[in-house]
Amino acid sequence: MLDIKFIREQTDLIRAAASKKHLSFNVDDLVACDEKRLAILRAVEDLRAKQNAASEEVQKADAAARALLIESMKQVKDELKKKEEELETVMKEWRALMLAVPNIPDMTVPEGSSDADNVETHAWGEIKEYAFTPLDHIELMEKGDMVDFERGTKTSGFRGYFLKNDAAMLEMAIWQYVMQRWQAKGFTPMLVPSLVRRETLLGSGYLPQGEDDLYKDGNDYFAGTGEVATMYYHADEVLDDLSQPKKFIVWSPCFRKEAGSHGKDVKGLVRVHEFYKCEQVILCEASHETSVSLHEEIRRHAEEMLEELGIPYHTVINCGGDLGLGQVKKYDIEAWMPSQGKYRETHSASYFHDFQTRRLNIRYKDTEGKLRYAHSLNNTAAATPRLVTVIIENYQQADGTVKVPDVLVPFMNGKTVIGKAFRS
């Protein structure tokens, strides 16, 4: 959410933001609604002032004058009730429009309408040449007794799965590795709720636009990322100091309907409804320079992790049409998938300025004691089982077994090879 004063003063900038993000938002509708809101609000305040003044006069007046005053105020009372009802109606429209205002993308965000227009910034690692025909993770894991899709579908429906044996241990090894790695970098580790109230998703910007992709039960939702609960952790609070950013590394189960992705990755573990994420979340002072610096930092943290795992990747800047409503700028980091012969997204790093914190009312006192809205950022640290598939495909061996990346061996009780040999 942006400041209404800023919106009214920068309508051309809002139009440009909506155009660059390929969103259908008419800022003129909001300005007209705001004019109406302010006019009714002034009328309500005037009528309340008349009512208060009359109440004081009634207390001082004699019986005859009091009766006349009370009678004369009935009309004011009726008019006030009517205006308050009008205000309530226009406020609903105003709030809905305010929630649809797009944040202003950074000037470095490229033009484009979809992820096909994202721009590569750099690539790391050599694409491995195999002396054998590489298999996809589905065959490697099924034949290695590491996954059961048939019983997964029987149990939870489309995209259901059971991770078993070495794959289950590998996934938990990734979580331990990530949580310890980020804690050593000064991030506070937390396990956060997945079942959240609607307000948490409105505050972090996932509603109302993302409703179709969320599982829900009444007013409770199952979040698609730990960022949602973590951002709400400090909702409606005033933080004493953000000269040192608050950094969190959080773990949570995640749920997404994958609405609109029918026909994409219908087999395997790349796109599933239930998964797990370790997420980086940061609150910092209201400084563009600080946000940019921290954005580069969390991007680099994720890249370094892939390098430690020995996974080839490339990083792209997301174009305007591939940005969310609240994002100022986003990087996607995409890891190499041998079976597909292309990079697949494993991490997304975004910063929002005060878009989320205004919705969530997260403020802090600056060095002059002035209250300001914090800035927020987030980036995936690891999403599983997708990262499991990346490791299994890149580390597959000729006999069908899979080598464990060196950095994960300590979290696998020293095990260096997983799966089963099923071919010569």
pLDDT tens string 327-344: 999 999 999 999 999 999
Q: What is the model's pLDDT at position 264?
A: 82
The amino acid that residue 118 corresponds to is N
Helices (H), 159-287: 165-183, 198-204, 227-232
Look over the chain and give the mean of its residue pLDDT values, rounded to a whole number.
95
- What distance in Å separates the CA atoms of residue 328 and residue 325, rounded to the nearest whole number? 9
372 is an active site residue:
no
Tokens of 46: 């005037």
Q: What is the model's pLDDT at position 297?
A: 98
Contact yes or no for 382/348 (Cβ under 8 A): no
Q: What is the pLDDT of residues 274-326, one digit of tens each?
A: 999 999 999 999 999 999 999 999 999 999 999 999 999 999 999 999 999 99
Q: What is the model's pLDDT at position 241?
A: 87
- What distance in Å separates the CA atoms of residue 389 and residue 340, rounded to the nearest whole number? 12
35 is an active site residue:
no
Q: What is the pLDDT of residues 2-44, one digit of tens each?
A: 999 999 999 999 999 999 999 999 999 999 999 999 999 999 9
Q: What is the model's pLDDT at position 411?
A: 98
Cα 149 to Cα 163, 219, 346, distances in angstroms: 9, 31, 22
Task: Give the length of the chain.
Answer: 424
Q: Predicted confidence band at 76 (pLDDT cuts at 50, 70, 90)? A: confident
Do you find a cis peptide bond into 208, omega within 30 degrees of 0? yes
Catalytic residue among 93, 139, 142, 345: 345
Q: What is the pLDDT of residues 394-415, one digit of tens each?
A: 999 999 999 999 999 999 999 9
| Percent of the chain predicted with pLDDT > 90 | 87
271 is an active site residue:
yes
- What distance in Å separates the CA atoms of residue 311 and residue 60, rounded to the nearest whole number? 83
Is it the case that residue 164 has pLDDT exceeding 90? yes
Rounded to 5 degrees, φ, ψ at 182 are -75, -30
Q: Predicted confidence band at 56 (pLDDT cuts at 50, 70, 90)? A: confident
Contact yes or no for 241/370 (Cβ under 8 A): no
Catalytic residue among 256, 344, 358, 359: 256
Q: What is the pLDDT of residues 349-372, one digit of tens each?
A: 999 999 999 999 999 999 899 999
Q: Are strands 238-239 and 363-365 parallel, antiparallel or unpaired?
A: parallel
Q: Predicted confidence band at 269 (pLDDT cuts at 50, 70, 90)? A: very high
Overall pTM surpassing 0.85 (yes/no): yes
As to burial, measured by CB atoms within 10 angstroms (0-12 exposed, 13-18 middle, 19+ buried), residue 353 is buried
Contact yes or no for 37/44 (Cβ under 8 A): no
Q: What is the pLDDT of residues 227-238, one digit of tens each?
A: 999 999 999 999
Catalytic residue among 37, 252, 386, 393: 386
Q: What is the model's pLDDT at position 205?
A: 94
Catalytic residue among 8, 197, 271, 372: 271
Catalytic residue among 252, 291, 348, 350: 348
95 is an active site residue:
no
Q: Predicted confidence band at 69 (pLDDT cuts at 50, 70, 90)? A: confident
348 is an active site residue:
yes
Sign of the Cα pseudo-torsion (271, 277, 278, 279, in order): positive
Going along the chain from its start, the domains and CATH numbers come out as 4-98 (1.10.287.40), 115-418 (3.30.930.10)
Is it the case that residue 47 has pLDDT exceeding 80? yes
Q: State whether residue 172 is helix, strand or coil.
A: helix
Q: Predicted confidence band at 259 (pLDDT cuts at 50, 70, 90)? A: confident
As to burial, measured by CB atoms within 10 angstroms (0-12 exposed, 13-18 middle, 19+ buried), residue 1 is buried
